[in-house]
Structure 1
Amino acid sequence: MIFRGLFGGRKDDDAEPAIPVVRNVTIGRSVRLDPLAWRRLGSDAVFEMDTDTLAIVAQGSIDLGADGWVHRFYTEDDLMLQMVSPDEAGQQAEDFTLFRPFSSAYPPDGRARREWADRLRAPSFTQDDLPIYRRFWFGDTDARQDPVSFWESVYDDRSGRNARRIYQTCMLFARDLPGEGRELLLAIEMEPQGGDLTHEIMVGIPLDIGEFEA
């Protein structure tokens, strides 16, 4: 599912690091999470975790131009810790989210791709096995909104060699939970360079800086 199979290759922990260490997180390190970050959401939450430790095996980098950089850290199970920063090195990272895969599908034809594209543009995201999530990026007005597209470079060793390139078109949705909780949904059309296009759904939660450490 999602990024699995893209991270093959030899690890070389002794090589000169060429990818940034962000908030002390990088390939080969473990991230400890505060379980209260998701347990406090209660029984209404779709997001759930059965571990409070992330063993990072791959790292992604996305250049958003004037909007800064996205740094992503992956486990073998495709859990994703994401940090957004105005700088490439991630020294000013200030936006943190944790996502886990929910579903992955290969669109059978062009019609399925068009229908998915329409869902990404809609003010809300609906699916039979999910609650309703409202568009988080750009606000949730009734107007349709184009999703965001970018290339992500994914590395499986700290030397920065052999980057996997993945083209993604996505939209972020969210829903409020009882209390002050919020749950996120990231809907993605994903196409690895040289690979097959898939439609992905990830569910996640925002994290405070005190809710994780490496």
Structure 2
Amino acid sequence: MSWLGKIFGSKEEETPQSAPPGPLGLRLKGAVGVDSLPFRVAGDRLVFAAPEGNQLIEAWGEVELGGGSRLHRYYLTDDAFLQVSTTAGQIDDVKLFVFHETRNPSNQTAFNEWVKRGSQIGAPYIDLGGQRYDRVWGDKDAAEWAPPIVFDEKVYNKSFTEPDYDLTHYAMLYQRLVPGLDRYEYVIVSAEDYGPDEYCITFSVGVDVSQADLTIT
């Protein structure tokens, strides 16, 4: 069962409503097709591997950042998500991430090891998949640890009006310029707090995408 399946259960248990479209026409229970050819051509220069075929939007995450800024996260069938950043309703950028690795701290003490000063989340760089990525958020020139960015996410699955659950992220974004491709590859590391004694650490690898890379239905 996929990462999303473990959270939401089987598809037969879902009773989705018809959701209004969001940025780019994306909507809960809609579908996204990704043009994977550019990523397959890149071969092993990318750690990222695009999901194949039509992907159902199984969940929608909403993050209010303040000042009219918002993140929309559309969680897809094959352990991937589209992240759309908007300001005052205008799209700033679109990234496609795939979940690379998940770890499950056994208790709050173990979770706190991931978010305390000097932890891996917030280090000046991170190594993943044989590549090195430099920190994006915080002081980029500092050779020291930077605190993770904290934000709350509401996640909708069965209804687009009432969230199924919410969580708090303690996250840091990293990037590298991919040689020969003139594009960036990203890693977002997030320590996720779902509530009493439920924690998860996710490592996701992503790239920038445009509307031309996507078929949205």
TM-score range with shorter-chain normalisation? 0.7 to 0.9
For the pair 1:31 / 2:29, whether they are aligned, the reply is no
State the Cα distance separating 1:147 from its structure 2 match: 1.0
Assess, with a 3 A threshold, how the Cα gap between structure 1 residues 4 and 193 changes in structure 2: closer, same or farther: farther
Corresponding residue of 2:49 = 48
Corresponding residue of 2:201 = 199
For the pair 1:11 / 2:15, whether they are aligned, the reply is yes
Q: Which whole-Å CA distance do the structure 1 matches of 2:38 and 2:68 have between them?
A: 27
Corresponding residue of 1:98 = 96
Identity of aligned residues (%): 22
Corresponding residue of 2:144 = 143
Give the paired residue count: 207
Letter in 1 for 2:15: K
Secondary structure of the residue aligned to 1:197 is strand
Q: Which whole-Å CA distance do the structure 2 matches of 1:57 and 1:70 have between them?
A: 17
C-alpha RMSD of matched pairs (Å): 2.5
Q: Which whole-Å CA distance do the structure 2 matches of 1:153 and 1:169 have between them?
A: 15
State the Cα distance separating 1:29 from its structure 2 match: 1.1
Corresponding residue of 1:80 = 81
1:112-171 CA-to-partner distances (Å, cap 9, x unmatched) read 7425641112110135x5421111223532232111011100001344224310111000
Letter in 2 for 1:77: D
Which fold has the larger relative contact order, with Cα–Cα distance below 8 Å and residues 6 or more apart in sequence? 1
Corresponding residue of 1:114 = 113
Corresponding residue of 2:185 = 183
Aligned residues of 2:3 and 2:79 also touching (Cα < 8 A): yes
Aligned residues of 1:171 and 1:188 also touching (Cα < 8 A): yes
Letter in 2 for 1:119: Q
State the Cα distance separating 1:202 from its structure 2 match: 0.7
Aligned residues of 1:13 and 1:158 also touching (Cα < 8 A): yes
Structure 2, unaligned stretches of length 5 or more? none
Corresponding residue of 2:59 = 58
1:67-88 CA-to-partner distances (Å, cap 9, x unmatched) read 600000012333100100013x
Letter in 2 for 1:61: E
Q: Which whole-Å CA distance do the structure 1 matches of 2:196 and 2:38 have between them?
A: 37
Letter in 2 for 1:85: T
- After alignment, is 3-12 or 42-51 more displaced? 3-12
TM-score (norm 2): 0.83
Aligned residues of 1:2 and 1:200 also touching (Cα < 8 A): no
1:40-91 CA-to-partner distances (Å, cap 9, x unmatched) read 433121111350432111101000012600000012333100100013xxx4
Structure 1, unaligned stretches of length 5 or more? none
1:83-102 CA-to-partner distances (Å, cap 9, x unmatched) read 00013xxx412310011111
Q: Which whole-Å CA distance do the structure 2 matches of 1:205 and 1:69 have between them?
A: 19
Corresponding residue of 2:134 = 134
Aligned residues of 2:115 and 2:148 also touching (Cα < 8 A): no
Assess, with a 3 A threshold, how the Cα gap between structure 1 residues 202 and 94 changes in structure 2: closer, same or farther: same
State the Cα distance separating 1:176 from its structure 2 match: 1.3
Letter in 1 for 2:185: E
More strand by share: 2
- After alignment, is 178-187 or 164-173 more displaced? 178-187
